[in-house]
Amino acid sequence: MDSLPGGVMAFAPMSDLLQLPQSERLALAIALWDSLDDQARDGALSVDPALCAEHDRRWASHLDNPDAALAWDEVRSQLGLG
């Protein structure tokens, strides 16, 4: 039996879990994420302050002029991807 971070014992070895089909690994990851409470989720990922500021700037820009947004299909077309 393998040990996961924090000393938690897994019922299946990590190497076996990594061999699961992609859809099952994704379902497992989502189930694990959903098992965290809000406080644990908030502390799980740190965001660079500059990245956070850029996100806030872009969101404010969108709120000021939502008509400037492009549909994803239009973006793909402009990039020659679709």
Beta bridge partners of 9: 3
Domain boundaries, the chain: 5-44, 49-78
**pLDDT for 53-82, tens place per residue?**
999 999 999 999 999 999 999 999 999 997
Q: Give the Å distances, CA to CA, from 42 to 25, 30, 76.
A: 23, 16, 33
Which amino acid, one-letter code, is at 50? A
pLDDT of residue 12: 84
* 18: Cβ contacts below 8 Å, ≥ 6 apart: 25
The phi, psi pair for 13, rounded to 5°, reads -60, 145
**pLDDT for 11-24, tens place per residue?**
788 899 999 999 99
Q: Which two tokens stand for residue 19?
A: 């061999």
Beta bridge partners of 36: none
